Structure 1
């Protein structure tokens, strides 16, 4: 990534776990001419055959002229003459040099394209530029996590996603921070892998996704309690709203009750943090608090008027910000239609999320607008119902969907993963718990206990897959689903 930027080229990083179809689609959309890959990679004790996936994708796209391969696992791979080159062979050539002049770029020159899935249609190629993006991510990392020379920063994401781009690769290096990276999975070979790494390397700041926290919660408190986590001084979450139960577990068990949690809201499109506390902000479990200084946001009705306290509405950004996407690559009409058309008169950006503001002006993200359930005329956020289910000690993860009902229009269908080592809860027990937490309108019509939930490789629950299963419909494109 850094070498690409140094020579003034544009990179499009594709997560290594993607399928042939997903990679080919992104190569074709970006019209990429050079593909850099490895022979293979390891995950959970298994080898991922990256070069094989790359070969199949390149054969479908027709744009790639050269493939550079890094030897990682020592796999036997096909190398096509005049197209494929080993990295170590290129580095051994007489022309290879450690000296390379840095290309001078304009602030608005393209920096990278990163693809993000839409609810419909092809993935969107979000285009970010050099100047504003780097200013925003460096400033937000410095302010939100109070990064200093003594810190050991760990953003436990993947470089293939925007969190990895912004807060693993670019911002820490711009600030000169000591940054920690690891390879593998958080619970392999044992569920204490992260906590062992925190203890061994003296990590001071940990930034991860609520999905990962809930996944580790299910193994109980004994695994993290085996390790000294006292080096941690600040925690963070990213990627989706964190339910209060997971927030409290993270704060108490991992942070020892002393580490503030920076619950950040932002998007691939925004480039960096938009709604976030600072280390001195009074916190409310489950709320990302208020917009970062200089960011203007509101929760509004369809006519653009501001919602009252605790009234659900649409989350909008009211003024331009440094790290904003400049376009959807190759599809400017989609850029205008998706983000700017609904509030074009005001010039506001529509985030696609529903939210509410409380009496203190704190913003609570309810979920994607297409993840809001309407049951018997009442609107319920999937995150709210899932949070109620996960607040039961015998449930580690939950996902809910709406399915058609002749009387109520829609009813709630829930899927729950039981907590390891707990007594398996009955459906009636969980229904009663939701009734106590949220009231009768939020009680699921059906609750299924499952071993796992379909998720994207970035950890987001694929509710459309659950909905298709519940309705007996085709599952559709599964190229982004975690294996």
Structure 2
């Protein structure tokens, strides 16, 4: 084991405090892990028992990676499991399904019974507009109750939905619409973001001109300013109110396509990944069950954008399939003040939060004073996913949020359709920086470049060795691309394209994308290893490290850093010394750029590819429409032009 890897994974186990433990989940986890040891099919059968089937499946799984089916012969409906079953139960029908707040402060709360009414009638409206089973419906909405209703209206009638990120530009929206070929689009007139209006309907009208498949557009008057509709545009609420009865439930084969989600398309045309009806439902029920640990009285805030797959996984499908109350927020988490995150938790009695690690780094950067002013006595879990969670931020959140709260760090991908490695809520001890152990039903390996498994403590390529229900089934209309992208590099495995190391306790440490491994004068090292050292410096509020070309060494690491204080020269030298001392002079930082803002998505994911582009070419080379604040790109570009410290 190299010294730098040893340092990275040297965090000791942090035992769960007695008040953080759950007897219920400890017993269930023991049972689930025992089933997994007997065979993951036994475990997934146990998961299937927690769903409501219209026709019971005949076998749990058939086939193997690249061509597999789960719950073979089973018929099921996602909306029935996520909405109807709770609306029909006298105990849960009046329980809140969604508690929503807009950035201006407006609030809407809907019970399961009310959500079922809206879903059923919107589904009937879609049928009236000619939407049939297997047709595609695009959903171009911000976080709002209508996004839940639109997704489940599609699920109810067997339409295939695709959610477009509400921050997409005209070009980005058009490229995805052209591939998906939707018959109907559901859109809001606008959304609020950092006190400004994002003109969704205006953008869609421009983007749809090259998409002849779109027959109708359903428009929600989010701003209350009144709609001026064009031809083939229909008012959402008028359409719903016109329906006297809900659309009938479609009995869907468990392996029918449920939805498309497009990858970012940073290096090539976006891939429309296809997830299945029964597999995605079963896997997300399990994912939310183990990661969030649903309990009576929970209000679960998934602080993510509906266009990020985490939101359907944990909120729209997984959360509602567990009968949870989901908190949903429209705007930026620090707008209009840094207290907004804390105020939202207080206003809606939030008990559990899911967010990107960057959100936790943002809260850390705001200082400890806010955690004292807002003690959040009801909060009992923070879980993070979407990018690497550094140990310093983990420790800060564990010690300071809500006076001390467990932080679960989870790992997954858009392609995997769920997170699959994390500490189980109320059960597993924690390690700062690790993504826990694979949860039941999942089999991972770390292999070298020849596909040979490596020993514990040795970094390599992270792969999955067996199918599981939420794994994407194909790329929309491009199955050969699916097979080539994920299953050819390491035959017999699904390639995550991430590097990782598994320690002696079985914990998974994800080091970042394999293409973020840089070669410095013939030495290979992950930028994540360097970034962990830079981020650990006490003067650093936030940092990112990327590889950039160098005439002598081929590639050198460049650090982009936001500092806490006003003594930049001393901080930069200390950061440089720390990297060289801990990793060796070969890994010395080639550039350190001091900046005031990082380019991030709405969900707080740091866009390292833009940093790499700007450091290399002086400007972004790919799509920038997902950036939360485009001014951050200019901030970085000015720093690069000014030269490194």
What interval of TM-score do these two structures reach, taking the shorter chain for normalisation? over 0.9
Q: Which residue of 1 aligns with 2:191?
A: 41
The question of whether the paired residues in 1 share the 8 Å contact of 2:375 and 2:401 is answered with no
1:255, CA displacement in angstroms? 4.5
Q: Which residue of 2 aligns with 1:106?
A: 253
Q: Which residue of 1 aligns with 2:32?
A: none
User: Per-residue displacement from partner, 1:103-131 (whole Å, max 9, x unpaired)?
Assistant: 11110111110111245211111101111
Which range moved further: 473-482 or 9-18? 473-482
| Mapped pair 1:88 → 2:237 | yes
Please give the residue correspondences for 1:24-423 in structure 2 after superposition, counting only pairs within 5 Å: 24-75=174-225, 79-81=229-231, 83-93=232-242, 96-257=243-404, 259-278=405-424, 279-344=426-491, 347-419=492-564, 423=567
Q: Which residue of 2 aligns with 1:9?
A: 159
The question of whether the paired residues in 2 share the 8 Å contact of 1:404 and 1:411 is answered with yes
> TM-score, length-normalised on structure 2?
0.71
> TM-score, length-normalised on structure 1?
0.94
SS at match of 1:230: coil
Residues 1:170 and 1:118: Cα distance change in structure 2 (over 3 Å): same
The question of whether the paired residues in 2 share the 8 Å contact of 1:296 and 1:317 is answered with yes
Residues 1:116 and 1:15: Cα distance change in structure 2 (over 3 Å): same
- The CA distance in 1 between the partners of 2:615 and 2:287, in whole Å, is 41
1:200, CA displacement in angstroms? 3.0
- The CA distance in 1 between the partners of 2:189 and 2:265, in whole Å, is 30
| Ranges in structure 1 where 5+ consecutive residues have no aligned partner | none
| Mapped pair 1:480 → 2:626 | yes
SS at match of 1:11: strand
The question of whether the paired residues in 2 share the 8 Å contact of 1:39 and 1:75 is answered with no
- The CA distance in 1 between the partners of 2:276 and 2:420, in whole Å, is 18
- The CA distance in 1 between the partners of 2:593 and 2:449, in whole Å, is 36
1:197, CA displacement in angstroms? 2.0
Residues 1:125 and 1:223: Cα distance change in structure 2 (over 3 Å): same
1:90, CA displacement in angstroms? 2.3
SS at match of 1:181: strand
SS at match of 1:468: helix
The question of whether the paired residues in 2 share the 8 Å contact of 1:238 and 1:265 is answered with yes
- The CA distance in 2 between the partners of 1:173 and 1:468, in whole Å, is 40
- The CA distance in 2 between the partners of 1:156 and 1:457, in whole Å, is 10
Larger RCO (CA within 8 A; separation ≥ 6): 2
- The CA distance in 1 between the partners of 2:240 and 2:441, in whole Å, is 46
Which range moved further: 260-269 or 141-150? 141-150
SS at match of 2:413: coil
Q: May I ask how many residue pairs the two structures share in their alignment?
A: 476
1:256, CA displacement in angstroms? 2.6
1:277, CA displacement in angstroms? 1.0
- The CA distance in 1 between the partners of 2:476 and 2:427, in whole Å, is 39
Q: CA RMSD in A?
A: 1.8
1:98, CA displacement in angstroms? 4.3
Residues 1:74 and 1:60: Cα distance change in structure 2 (over 3 Å): farther
- The CA distance in 2 between the partners of 1:455 and 1:183, in whole Å, is 17
- The CA distance in 2 between the partners of 1:423 and 1:223, in whole Å, is 24
- The CA distance in 2 between the partners of 1:205 and 1:234, in whole Å, is 5
Residues 1:422 and 1:209: Cα distance change in structure 2 (over 3 Å): farther
| Ranges in structure 2 where 5+ consecutive residues have no aligned partner | 1-150, 630-645
User: Per-residue displacement from partner, 1:166-223 (whole Å, max 9, x unpaired)?
Assistant: 1111111111112211221111111121112223322211111101111222111111
- Point out the structure with the larger helix share: 2
- The CA distance in 2 between the partners of 1:304 and 1:411, in whole Å, is 28
Q: 1:435 aligns with which of 580, 584, 594?
A: 580
